[in-house]
């Protein structure tokens, strides 16, 4: 082994240690917990059983909730992509001070705490809040809309906070595209629209892929925003999991729900990566 | 077949004038080089012609039809870029066939046309490779094929050889010229390399700070340049300050370094003008036995370097000034020697003195 190679391994050690202690070990604990029997007067019992998995997979309620979580995350991801792409494009053409200002604007949703941000939404969409007041003032509606505790609001709030995770990688990918490629495409007779779909969009995929994966994973796992803005009316997996873990103290069953959700998410991410692997391979410089 | 005219093109960026009345024209099938140092406006001119930039004023016409307001995707020009600009996610065949997608050409014809274009640039058997699997020279051939497959009215080449190594540069340069002549495509070729420009062009436009300083055949650019800048840029040159005594029909009697000579020159010169006499090194020869009756000038060798095929010499003249010349490789020359210099006067050239 060369010295450089040794150093590379050595440099990886802190991260590996951190991940081992704070990710692998707790995860292993979760897996173990998911096979524990339910306890009476205790969070879990002594024996081992697979009955919780049978219950999650066999019960339509849990499967429907899982599906709702995944679909909600998919909608959030798609909306995020649609909103973020033009933004990323605009950002990728900016230079110097303007670029810096735009970066700050785009990162702004992340600059407030999750509670403050969600209470902000509550005030905005309240029955007598500014949203309803302005819509009624403009004559679009005659009586206030109930926006609070709807899936739509949860989706909107998640899109809002996850935009930076989509914009930044796409912006990066767009900046790496040689501007002469668009010119070449135009000179060969392609319209601006064709140029976008045939050249720019595929070449920005190295930014789209991580953006989509990040936002999807974060959306599936989002807890605070659905809990605060969706309340009891919008049942998503994280809400259920937390309820089991801290509400009824059914740790084994809560763990099972969490593991099932993780596996479902992971499968989708892997499938997405495999489906797009060919394109990624091609566009990688 | 396209006749291209560029008329009084100007382009400003704030206070900077990038193009200041550029006028050029190309007959059908001609290759025109835009030659100059970086920042002279040659690339800006090309980008205006390609439609990537719109000029502030002036006109560009193809077959006497103005195209200055036509968007670049409707100009029907093939562009070859310095960095090739191949689509990295498409195979060679897809790259070459790209322009066919936007033309009314039946799908069944695409394959043969792509093949044909690749054969023309002598690149076969690589159609299914991705650009990143090709060498620089191969990539530039693909770029050339891609620009030619659409049978463009005009071929625009922006320093197409700048990223290639010296040996490949020669090869691709001749290929470009051959393919351009074979297809009869009118072409504009931007370069900062004078040898490249002279070797492949029908005409060369030497550019200087946003203007065309001289637009003529390679021979005229080199042997009968309009001014010192052009002479300097196109090769080794000696200049001597001269004064016009008498002018008649492009021939001039001048006084230079204490002598009176008859030389050809730029027609606009008049008697009494101060001028500069251009003496290319190859129109000078050394008289080794000191000053002979043929010698026009005498001087002392101040520098001599053996280059293999020739020797580079610098001679300090008694009347002031230095002449550079190439001596035959087998005469022995040493610094400090007293020599005479003969001049092929029919190859001297008188130019107006241009104050910077």
pLDDT tens column, B15-32: 999 999 999 999 999 999
Q: Which of B87, B105, B139, B190 to mutate to test the interface with A (most CBs of A within 10 A)?
A: B87
How far apart are the C-alpha atoms of A163 and A107, rounded to whole Å? 8
Which of A57, A51, A59 has the alpha carbon at shortest distance from A34? Answer: A51
Nearest by CB to A187, which of B78, B88, B101? Answer: B78
Residues of A contacting chain B (CB within 8 angstroms): 178, 180-181, 183-192, 194, 198-199, 202-203, 279, 282-283, 285
Q: Say whether A194 and B72 touch across the interface (CB within 8 A).
A: no
**pLDDT given at position A36:** 93
The more confident residue out of B331 and B225 is B225
Note whether B50 contacts A: Cβ–Cβ < 8 A: yes
**pLDDT given at position B258:** 82
**pLDDT given at position A51:** 93
Adjacent-strand bridge partners of B19: B11
How far apart are the C-alpha atoms of A40 and A163, rounded to whole Å? 45
Residue B207 confidence (pLDDT) above 90: yes
First to last CA, chain B: 40
Q: How far is CA B216 from the centre of its chain?
A: 10
Identify the H or E element spanning B317.
strand B311-317
Weakest mean pLDDT among A17-26, A257-266, B108-117, B318-327: B318-327
**pLDDT given at position B290:** 63
Task: Give the helix ranges, DSSP H, for chain A.
Answer: 3-19, 25-34, 51-58, 60-93, 96-107, 114-125, 130-137, 151-175, 179-187, 192-195, 201-203, 205-221, 224-225, 237-242, 251-275, 277-283
How far apart are the C-alpha atoms of B276 and B242, rounded to whole Å? 5
B132 vs A contacts (CB less than 8 Å): 285
**pLDDT given at position A5:** 87
Q: Are A203 and A282 in contact (CB under 8 A)?
A: no
Kindly report the nearest CA distance between residue A189 and chain B, in angstroms: 4
Q: Say whether A190 and B73 touch across the interface (CB within 8 A).
A: yes
Q: Which of A173, A177, A178, A187 to mutate to test the interface with B (most CBs of B within 10 A)?
A: A187
Tens digit of each residue's pLDDT (9 = 90 or more) over B267-297: 889 888 899 999 999 999 888 766 677 788 8
**pLDDT given at position B92:** 97
Domain range annotation of chain A: 1-29, 60-284
Tens digit of each residue's pLDDT (9 = 90 or more) over B33-76: 999 999 999 999 999 999 999 999 999 999 999 999 999 999 99
Kindly report the nearest CA distance between residue B88 and chain A, in angstroms: 6
Out of 3.40.920.10, 1.10.3720.10, 3.20.20.300, 1.20.1050.10, select the CATH number for domain A60-284: 1.10.3720.10
Residues 76-115, chain B, touching A (beta carbon < 8 A): 76-79, 81, 83, 85-89, 98-99, 101-103
B103 vs A contacts (CB less than 8 Å): 189
Kindly report the nearest CA distance between residue B94 and chain A, in angstroms: 11
Q: What is the CA radius of gyration of chain A?
A: 23
SS3 assignment, position B133: helix
Residue B89 confidence (pLDDT) above 80: yes
**pLDDT mean for each 10 residues of chain A (285 residues):** 84 94 94 90 87 93 95 98 96 93 92 91 92 92 90 95 96 95 96 96 95 97 93 89 90 95 97 92 78
Q: Which of B81, B88, B101 to mutate to test the interface with A (most CBs of A within 10 A)?
A: B88
**What are φ and ψ of residue B328, in 5° steps?**
-60, 150
Segment B297-305 shows an average pLDDT of 89
Nearest by CB to B72, which of A187, A198, A282? Answer: A187
How far apart are the C-alpha atoms of A37 and A252, rounded to whole Å? 7
Residue B260 confidence (pLDDT) above 70: yes
């Amino acid at each position: 082994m060369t010295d450089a190679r040794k150093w590379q391994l050595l440099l990886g050690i802190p991260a590996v240690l951190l991940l081992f202690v704070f990710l692998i070990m707790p995860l292993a604990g979760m897996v173990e917990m998911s096979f524990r029997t339910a306890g009476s007067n205790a969070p879990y019992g002594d024996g081992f059983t697979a009955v919780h998995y049978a219950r999650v997979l066999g019960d339509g309620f849990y499967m429907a909730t899982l599906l709702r979580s995944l679909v909600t995350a998919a909608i959030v991801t798609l909306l995020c992509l649609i909103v973020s792409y033009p933004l990323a494009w605009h950002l990728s053409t900016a230079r110097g001070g303007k670029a810096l200002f735009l970066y700050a604007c785009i990162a702004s949703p992340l600059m407030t705490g999750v509670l403050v941000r969600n209470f902000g939404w509550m005030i905005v969409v309240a029955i007598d809040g500014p949203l309803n007041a302005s819509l009624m003032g403009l004559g679009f509606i005659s009586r206030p809309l109930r926006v609070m505790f709807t899936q739509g609001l949860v989706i909107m709030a998640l899109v809002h906070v996850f935009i930076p995770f989509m914009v930044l990688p796409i912006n990066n990918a767009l900046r790496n595209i040689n501007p002469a490629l668009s010119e070449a495409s135009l000179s060969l007779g392609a319209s601006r629209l064709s140029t976008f779909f045939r050249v720019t969009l595929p070449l920005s995929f190295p930014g789209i892929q991580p953006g989509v994966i990040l936002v999807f994973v974060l959306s599936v796992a989002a807890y605070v925003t659905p809990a605060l803005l969706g309340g009891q009316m919008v049942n998503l997996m994280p809400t259920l999991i937390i309820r089991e873990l801290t509400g009824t103290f059914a740790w084994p069953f809560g763990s099972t729900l969490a593991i099932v959700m993780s596996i479902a998410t992971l499968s989708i991410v892997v499938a997405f990566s495999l489906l797009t692997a060919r394109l990624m391979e091609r566009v990688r410089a | 077949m396209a006749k291209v005219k560029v008329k009084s093109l100007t382009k400003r960026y704030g206070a900077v004038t990038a193009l200041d009345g550029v006028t050029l024209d190309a007959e059908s099938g001609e290759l025109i080089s835009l030659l100059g140092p970086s920042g002279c406006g040659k690339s800006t001119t090309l980008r205006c012609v390609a439609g990537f930039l719109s000029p502030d004023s002036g006109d560009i016409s193809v077959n006497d039809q103005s195209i200055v307001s036509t968007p670049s995707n409707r100009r029907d020009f093939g562009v070859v870029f310095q960095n090739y600009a191949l689509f990295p996610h498409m195979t060679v065949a897809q790259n070459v066939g790209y322009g066919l997608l936007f033309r009314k050409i039946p799908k069944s014809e695409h394959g043969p046309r792509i093949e044909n274009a690749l054969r023309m640039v002598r690149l076969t058997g690589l159609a299914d490779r991705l650009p990143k699997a090709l060498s620089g020279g191969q990539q530039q051939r693909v770029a050339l094929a891609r620009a030619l497959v659409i049978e463009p009215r005009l071929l625009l080449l922006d320093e197409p050889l700048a990223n290639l190594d010296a040996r490949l540069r020669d090869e691709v340069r001749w290929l470009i010229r051959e393919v351009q002549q074979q297809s009869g495509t009118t072409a504009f070729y931007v370069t900062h390399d004078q040898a490249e420009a002279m070797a492949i062009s029908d005409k060369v436009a030497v550019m200087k700070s946003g203007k065309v300083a001289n637009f003529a055949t390679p021979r005229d650019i080199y042997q009968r340049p309009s001014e010192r800048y052009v002479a300097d840029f196109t090769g080794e040159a000696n200049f001597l300050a001269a004064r016009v005594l008498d002018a008649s029909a492009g021939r001039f009697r001048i006084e230079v370094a204490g002598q009176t000579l008859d030389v050809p020159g730029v027609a606009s010169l008049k008697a009494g003008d101060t001028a500069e006499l251009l003496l290319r090194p190859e129109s000078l020869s050394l008289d080794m036995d000191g000053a002979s009756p043929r010698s026009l000038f005498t001087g002392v060798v101040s520098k001599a370097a053996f280059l293999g095929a020739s020797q580079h010499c610098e001679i300090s003249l008694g009347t002031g000034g230095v002449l550079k010349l190439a001596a035959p490789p087998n005469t022995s020359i040493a610094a400090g020697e007293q020599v005479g210099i003969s001049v092929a006067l029919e190859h001297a050239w008188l130019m107006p003195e241009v104050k910077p």
